[in-house]
Structure 1
Amino acid sequence: MIPLRPLSLSDIFNGAVGYIRANPKATLGLTTVVVVVTQALALILQLGPLLSMGKVGSETGEELSTPALVGSAASSVASGVTTALAGILLAGMLTVVVGRAVFGAKITVGEAWHRLRGRLWALIGFSALEVLAAVLLIGVVVAVIAGIAVAANGTAAVIVGIPLVLALIAALVYLYTSLSFAPVAVVLERKPIVASIRRSFGLVRNHFWRVFGIRLLASVVAGVIAGAVSVPFSLAGQLFLIGGSSSGSIVLATTLAAIGGAIAQIITAPFTAGVTVLLYTDTRIRAEAFDLALQSATGAAAVDNETADNLWLAPGR
């Protein structure tokens, strides 16, 4: 799927598309199933409580009782958690698919799940730690700015807050980039969470700007494609809302937006996962001469996929 040498940007992007073409069932098929099920659950969780109480389309806060508000908030949280867990599952399984595709071999959805199953909790744990770290950083900055505003005045809070916010953005970008390969290490190298974090920092250290730039470009490409796909559905939903404020119009508009989002995710999720794994592969080639292991695996993968999979393990493991 990729040349056995350090990869260029075009090699990474072409490979991210090539593995989808080579194994559409395990990429687009898997993504479609996970995304459709997730979006359906999210819609039910978001609209279910309000529909059951006949509160969809209520325009005044007085019409929404406390139980309805609590139920709606709980449903939104449950919907968010469901979507996040599905995203983690999908990213993990696509990582397995790309990892096998690098050696020119296909893998079924069942085989991908079998390989991911033992690493899923570690993947969820890492994602939770990542979110917690971001929330703590943001919380500290907000608390400091709020404290200065209370102790001194708004002007002092602005003077101190601007550099603090810029430092926060820089810290989040640094963590986002430095942790890029931790999920891949969890899945392909089968490392525990802390070891995967150390592994990612070690790989990215001397290639920070390259990793950041390629991931940013991939995100922009995916965002443009997702927007082009989902915007027509959102516009159609807005037209229905303009035409009427009944429960049916709101449900239809929400459903159309969910359909557009689902189609966009089905198209972009495999590409994004492919870019991440191939960028990880390229970084290992540059840092560890991993292309030699890839060359030795070309024949092994055709005979024994397990042997090829084990080549992802870090040196010395």
Structure 2
Amino acid sequence: MNDTPGWAPPGSSPSDDRGTAATGPADSPDTPSRWSKEQPPAGRWAPPTGPGGGAVPPQAGGPDWGSGPRPGGWGRPPAAKPGVIPLRPLGVGEILDGAVSTLRAHWRTVLGITVTVSVITQICDILIQRYLAPQPPELDPNASPEEVLSQLGDQLNATLVSSAPAMAITLIATLLTTALLTMVISRSVLGREVTLSDVWREARPRLPQLLGLTLLLLLIAMAVLVVGLLPGLLLGAALGTAAGAALAFLGGTAGLVVTVWLMIRFALASPALMLERQGVIQSMRRSAKLVRGAWWRVFGILLLTMLLIFIVSLIIAIPFGLIAFAVDGGGLSGMLSGGTPEFGWPFLIVTGIGAVIASAVTYPISAGVTVLLYVDQRIRREALDLELARAAGAAGHGAAPGDDTPRS
């Protein structure tokens, strides 16, 4: 365990090969990574003592030293909590609370990152919508079915062209916030202070690899979807029957299922890349090994996080949307008349402010859950809590010999 926000590559670990021991710093003679098979006889464990030699009383609201069956009658010591999470396997609520606690504990650094990136993103998005985005063609109500299909295709193309720059900007913004917030959260786990300059110095060398990882995952998702849709599209183009549409629907559904499975399998690649200093492919393999056997749990937590983020964004966006329509009625009248809405500067500015506030709140939660999921899986698979406790100077806490806390 080094003294930087990230953690060194663990090398071969229980998640890499369950039959071999972990290598790296945890296997050195001074810092054993697992307990010896030869333990002291039962009944010789002693509780922690205070300065005067007496036993330390149990913490209020925490686990009692005498609770639970233990050799010699002593219970499990309370897990160390130097930062935003206790150093033990985490529950869903603790992961979400750790993400929010990071925002509260390091709000200056976190908001400095998210607000700056969000403001720049929204300014670029507003300028693109105002000056560069082409207006979608209007549908002719008297057009024939073939002409309607052609017009719908033109509208789809115009929408894709207008949204491509915004998607690229969003991708870059997400990339930066993910990289920087990962370093903030890694420090908050150890209870250490972090400044924006520290975060940037640690994250900057990893940005090219993180960009490569993000683009590779996007290409994989697009390729899987195209492979699923292509047979149906080709059949529909050749025969023009409903069979092509049905096959495209089935293939698209199958491609979507495979894409979701792959994205969850590689969901922890980003923190692995940033914190373990691994390459793109190695990070994807690392994520796959950490998620193995816990796919549904990771999927459920990420799905719950997305739902919470959607609700929070909606709560913030609705008032700003109503204010925007109130100060700029031109776009609303265009929508009500059935034509193409033309929103002015007041509407774009007000909605942009709402988007900045929503991003400043949701970015840390999303990044925090992903990083803490990575930490949780390493605690369950590799006893990372012992390494973190030593790095935080709390080596007397955490798992004890014979600890039966579930780790997989």
Task: Give me the TM-score of the superposition, normalised by structure 1.
Answer: 0.83
Distance 2:226 2:194 in 1: 43
Distance 1:192 1:199 in 2: 10
Tell me: higher relative CO, structure 1 or 2? Use CA pairs within 8 A at least 6 residues apart. Answer: 1
The answer (yes or no) to whether the contact 1:45–1:76 under 8 Å persists in 2 is: no
Aligned to 1:41: 124
Aligned to 1:269: 363
Aligned to 1:181: 268
SS at the partner of 2:344?
A: helix
Match 2:211 to one of 124, 127, 142: 124
SS at the partner of 1:299?
A: coil
Distance 1:159 1:139 in 2: 15
Alignment of 1:163-242 (within 5 A): 163-239=250-326, 240=329, 241-242=331-332
Q: Which amino acid in structure 1 is aligned with residue 268 of structure 2? A: F
Distance 1:180 1:72 in 2: 29
Q: Which amino acid in structure 2 is aligned with residue 242 of structure 1? A: L
Distance 2:206 2:310 in 1: 29
The answer (yes or no) to whether the contact 1:125–1:193 under 8 Å persists in 2 is: yes
Shift of 1:135: 1.4
Q: Deviation digits for residues 138-195 of structure 1, max 9, x if unmatched? A: 2222221111213345332244334322211211111110111111111111101010
Shift of 1:98: 0.3
Distance 1:100 1:138 in 2: 38
The answer (yes or no) to whether the contact 2:290–2:377 under 8 Å persists in 1 is: yes
The answer (yes or no) to whether the contact 2:229–2:255 under 8 Å persists in 1 is: no
The answer (yes or no) to whether the contact 1:46–1:72 under 8 Å persists in 2 is: no
Aligned to 2:6: none
Distance 1:108 1:17 in 2: 18
Aligned to 2:388: 294
Q: Which amino acid in structure 2 is aligned with residue 273 of structure 1? A: A
Overall identity of the aligned pairs, in %: 34
Shift of 1:71: 12
Aligned to 1:5: 88
Q: Deviation digits for residues 98-124 of structure 1, max 9, x if unmatched? A: 011100112111110100110000001
Aligned to 1:99: 186
Q: Which amino acid in structure 2 is aligned with residue 48 of structure 1? A: Y
Distance 1:142 1:35 in 2: 35
Distance 1:39 1:148 in 2: 42
Distance 1:74 1:208 in 2: 35
Q: Which amino acid in structure 2 is aligned with residue 8 of structure 1? A: G
Q: Which amino acid in structure 1 is aligned with residue 324 of structure 2? A: G
**Alignment length, in residue pairs?**
288
Distance 2:281 2:394 in 1: 31
1:144 is aligned to 2:234: no
Distance 1:72 1:194 in 2: 33
Change (3 A) 1:149 1:226: same
Distance 1:7 1:122 in 2: 29
SS at the partner of 2:392?
A: helix
Distance 1:74 1:161 in 2: 24
Higher percent of residues as helix: 1
Change (3 A) 1:205 1:223: same
Distance 1:59 1:173 in 2: 34
Distance 1:248 1:175 in 2: 40
Task: Give me the TM-score of the superposition, normalised by structure 2.
Answer: 0.65
Distance 1:244 1:278 in 2: 46
Match 2:376 to one of 267, 276, 282: 282
Distance 1:144 1:73 in 2: 23
Q: Which amino acid in structure 1 is aligned with residue 229 of structure 2? A: V
* Bigger Rg over Cα: 2
Runs of at least 5 residues in structure 2 that lack an aligned partner in the other structure = 1-83, 140-156, 396-408
User: What is the root-mean-square deviation in Å for CA atoms of aligned residues?
Assistant: 2.8
Change (3 A) 1:102 1:236: same
Shift of 1:39: 0.9
Aligned to 1:253: 347
Aligned to 1:66: none
